[in-house]
A and B are shown apart, each in its own frame.
Chain A
Amino acid sequence: MTDIGLEEGSGGEEMMKLLEESVLPHLEGGDLEIGLEEMDDGAAWELPDGNYLVFTTDTHVVKPLFFPGGDIGKLAVSGTVNDLAVMGADPKYLSSAIVVEEGFEREEVEEISRSMGETADEADVNIVTGDLKVVERGGLDGITVNTSGVGVAERLTKSSSLEPGDSIVVSGDVGRHGMAVLASRHGLDFSIESDVNPVNGLVQKLMEVDGVKSLKDPTRGGLAAALNEMADCSGVGVKVSEDKIPLDSEVEGAGKVLGIDPYGLANEGRVVVGVESPFVDDVMDVLRKSSLAPGAEVIGMCKEKNPGKVLLETEIGTKRVLRPPHGDPLPRIC
């Protein structure tokens, strides 16, 4: 018997290994436009009218349940809505499946549900089906919330479509969600709020801009993982400037104190955009007009050199390779 370790749920190499060895061999993904084997944010199925039905699911286990800037309910809706949105879909309907531990307060279930409803309103989606189960005390730590969602896409965005010369844009300051959760978990006195928000409205506007090729929501593994995935899937080198990467001064300070690189921390309301450079100003125009994109910046460019790698020009002008974070510095963050 082999015990599963926490790191095997981190979204990194270990999780892939677990899935590839023990889960995927037993499942048949079907012949889809984007299927199980692509391990993307969701699956996509071509409809008779040429559009795509996009389907995704996510289980949320964040600890604490209520954190500065949000809670598990807002996170559960935003996470699924954003996963659909960055694949190019207009999110429509969500399901909600809640598992509660015996003894969990009813008022908290209500508060979480209210938060889910409000977030769904904001995102202009409906929660149309669901399930609730209670397990015995100790069978679970409080509550988990699963949401699945469907949406329709006219075209699908993929991480694999970037070419040398394309620009990379990030829609706002990074590392907020991870640091907010971490700080509240450790009782640290920061005023950092999570960026958790549904960004489908913003993504829809970005999709209308010519030249937008690739969109990623930099959740687990943060900006570092998102950029590496883009570089890897597209076979380009990505060069970014540290000076340009927007970072809240408190997030930066907390990162230094805790020895954690904010580029590897989760975001729950940001988008990384890959766009043909002549259209980058149009992307920035859209972002500047949105309240969900504070401090958006063009942070770098795709290059022919160093394919599959992300090179970071540091704030003092030297260079280092920005690798995807290994494992998870913070389990149970989303």
Chain B
Amino acid sequence: MKALEFRGRKRTKELLSQIEREIPERRVKVMHVCGTHESTICRYGLREALPENLELVQGPGCPVCVTPTERVDEAVELSKKDGVIVATFGDMTRVPGSSESLVADGKNVRIVESIEDVVKMETDKEVVFFGVGFETTASTYAPVLLEDHEGFSFLSSVRRIPPAINFLLEECGADVDGFIAPGHVSVITGSEAYREVVDRHGKPVVVGGFEPLDVLSSVLKLIRSIKGEGKLVNDYSRAVDEKGNENAQRLIERAFKVKDSSWRGLGDIPDSGLELKNEENDVRKKFDLNIEKDKTRPEGCICEEIITGQSKPDDCKLFAGGKCDPRNPVGPCMVGSEGMCNVWYRYGGT
């Protein structure tokens, strides 16, 4: 399939004018839940091109951003123990904890590109993999976690997207008219994973792809759904079906158990976390971790409001004043390429 099919000028114009014609006159707020969607929106200047009364926000869709401070603190504490190496993705090493990030001391921290790198590491130390991600990443962790590995343990920061969307509506009273669901998570979960959002909350969900025309098409379908009855639409059928990848789901089920999980900006969300089933490799069984939840946050940082779609990066004084950037990130949304602040920084905002 050629990418050009998703980037035609003519089709872009058509979609934009259809959206213009069909959007209700009132303000419409659409939330997507994915850093890749945000990149497409910024890279192609879609916010500027869409009608003014359409507000497009990013929700809790960056796994690095939603990892709460206490989980970072746990990883930092582990990295200070004798005989322990903490291995994780580069972005995670730079997320500020309550007093420092993993990279600050860094002696016993290794940056890896996959969980396979971790189990291949040659060392007589205990290697703790600090694994972050959503369903898509969980499916890549699962096969390795199901194997037996000596001297290996897992600190989980793995989360499920659909419970977070429900929670936003139920507990946070999010004033969102509809959601664009992330295509790659949905490849694993299937579009039906968002059924509850639609049936219980009456909010439409469109599962969308990542090319600019995908995003515009998803916005149009969402607007149509908002005007009618809340519906579940799979607008990314070239990759996603109703049921998802059942093999991957089975692997995730075998490797992980569903638990409540804490999200930055949102708090504890029931059934939103994936913890390791094999307790022998669970870091909490091997080490005593006594980290208190730290509710304080860096002065001026509004990452929590950004994660919940209440604010955008340019509402942040640190962002606007050039006091927070990818090299010296104050909050997690500036750290990784999926974070809204980071994306805005790279593409010059909006």
B327-346 contacts to A, CB under 8 A, are 327, 337, 345-346
| Least distance between A156 CB and chain B CB atoms (Å) | 31
Q: Which residues of A contact B49 (CB under 8 A)?
A: 318-319
Q: Does A321 contact B (CB under 8 A)?
A: yes
User: Are B327 and A318 neighbours in the complex by a CB distance under 8 Å?
Assistant: no
Q: Is the interface of B mostly helix, strand, loop or mixed?
A: helix
Q: Which residue of A lies closest to B45 (CB)?
A: A320
Q: Which residues of A contact B43 (CB under 8 A)?
A: 314, 320
Q: Which residues of A contact B8 (CB under 8 A)?
A: 316
Q: Which residue of B lies closest to A326 (CB)?
A: B325
Cα(A321)–Cα(B44), bound, Å: 10
Cα(A319)–Cα(B13), bound, Å: 13
Given A326-B325, A326-B326, A318 and B348 touching (CB < 8 A)? no
Q: Does A317 contact B (CB under 8 A)?
A: yes
Q: Which residues of B contact A261 (CB under 8 A)?
A: 346
A232-277 contacts to B, CB under 8 A, are 259, 261
Cα(A322)–Cα(B321), bound, Å: 19
Q: Does B240 contact A (CB under 8 A)?
A: no
User: Are A318 and B46 neighbours in the complex by a CB distance under 8 Å?
Assistant: yes
Q: Which residues of A contact B48 (CB under 8 A)?
A: 318-320
Which of B9, B39, B46, B345 has the largest count of A CB atoms less than 10 A from its CB? B9
Cα(A317)–Cα(B48), bound, Å: 12
Cα(A83)–Cα(B184), bound, Å: 45
Cα(A320)–Cα(B45), bound, Å: 5
A interface footprint on B31-61 (CB within 8 Å = 1, 0 otherwise)? 0000000010011111011000000000000
Cα(A319)–Cα(B48), bound, Å: 8
B299-343 contacts to A, CB under 8 A, are 325-327, 337
User: Are B212 and A321 neighbours in the complex by a CB distance under 8 Å?
Assistant: no
Q: Is the interface of A mostly helix, strand, loop or mixed?
A: loop
| Least distance between A327 CB and chain B CB atoms (Å) | 5
Cα(A322)–Cα(B345), bound, Å: 11
Which residue in B9, B39, B42, B348 is a CB contact (below 8 Å) of A316? B9
B205-237 contacts to A, CB under 8 A, are 212-213
Cα(A14)–Cα(B46), bound, Å: 31
User: Are A259 and B337 neighbours in the complex by a CB distance under 8 Å?
Assistant: yes
Q: Does A158 contact B (CB under 8 A)?
A: no
17 extra A-B contacts, CB within 8 A, seeds A316-B7, A316-B12, A316-B212: A7-B327, A259-B337, A314-B44, A314-B212, A315-B9, A316-B8, A316-B9, A316-B44, A317-B12, A318-B48, A320-B43, A320-B45, A320-B347, A320-B348, A321-B349, A326-B346, A327-B327
Q: Which residues of B contact A50 (CB under 8 A)?
A: none
User: Are B7 and A14 neighbours in the complex by a CB distance under 8 Å?
Assistant: no
Q: Which residues of B contact A316 (CB under 8 A)?
A: 7-9, 12, 44, 212-213
Q: Which residues of B contact A259 (CB under 8 A)?
A: 39, 337
Q: Does A25 contact B (CB under 8 A)?
A: no
Q: Does A323 contact B (CB under 8 A)?
A: yes
Q: Which residues of A contact B46 (CB under 8 A)?
A: 318
User: Number of contact residues on B: which range applies?
Assistant: 20 to 34
| Least distance between A154 CB and chain B CB atoms (Å) | 38
| Least distance between B197 CB and chain A CB atoms (Å) | 29
User: Are A5 and B349 neighbours in the complex by a CB distance under 8 Å?
Assistant: no
User: Are B45 and A318 neighbours in the complex by a CB distance under 8 Å?
Assistant: yes
What are 22 A-B pairs at a CB distance below 8 A? A5-B327, A14-B327, A259-B39, A259-B337, A261-B346, A314-B43, A314-B44, A314-B45, A316-B8, A316-B9, A316-B12, A317-B12, A318-B12, A318-B44, A319-B49, A320-B350, A321-B349, A322-B348, A326-B345, A326-B346, A327-B325, A327-B326
User: Number of contact residues on A: which range applies?
Assistant: 10 to 19
Cα(A5)–Cα(B328), bound, Å: 11
A292-334 contacts to B, CB under 8 A, are 314-323, 325-327
| Least distance between A75 CB and chain B CB atoms (Å) | 25
User: Are A323 and B326 neighbours in the complex by a CB distance under 8 Å?
Assistant: no
User: Are B42 and A320 neighbours in the complex by a CB distance under 8 Å?
Assistant: yes
Q: Which residues of B contact A327 (CB under 8 A)?
A: 325-327
Q: Which residue of B lies closest to A325 (CB)?
A: B346
| Least distance between A255 CB and chain B CB atoms (Å) | 11
Q: Give the 10 A-B CB pairs with smallest separation, nearest first.
A: A320-B45, A321-B348, A323-B348, A316-B12, A318-B45, A318-B49, A317-B9, A314-B44, A7-B327, A319-B45
Q: Which residues of B contact A322 (CB under 8 A)?
A: 348
Q: Which residues of A contact B345 (CB under 8 A)?
A: 326
| Least distance between B13 CB and chain A CB atoms (Å) | 7
Cα(A325)–Cα(B345), bound, Å: 9
Q: Which residues of B contact A320 (CB under 8 A)?
A: 42-45, 48, 347-348, 350
Which of A14, A259, A318, A319 has the largest count of B CB atoms less than 10 A from its CB? A318
Given A322-B348, A323-B348, A315 and B42 touching (CB < 8 A)? no
Q: Which residues of B contact A14 (CB under 8 A)?
A: 327
Q: Which residue of A lies closest to B213 (CB)?
A: A316
Q: Which residue of B lies closest to A314 (CB)?
A: B44
| Least distance between A107 CB and chain B CB atoms (Å) | 31
Q: Which residues of A contact B212 (CB under 8 A)?
A: 314, 316, 318
Cα(A7)–Cα(B325), bound, Å: 12
| Least distance between B318 CB and chain A CB atoms (Å) | 15
Q: Which residues of B contact A326 (CB under 8 A)?
A: 325-327, 345-346
Which of A259, A316, A318, A327 has the largest count of B CB atoms less than 10 A from its CB? A316
Q: Which residues of A contact B327 (CB under 8 A)?
A: 5, 7, 14, 326-327
Q: Which residue of B lies closest to A10 (CB)?
A: B327
User: Are A315 and B348 neighbours in the complex by a CB distance under 8 Å?
Assistant: no
Cα(A172)–Cα(B180), bound, Å: 39
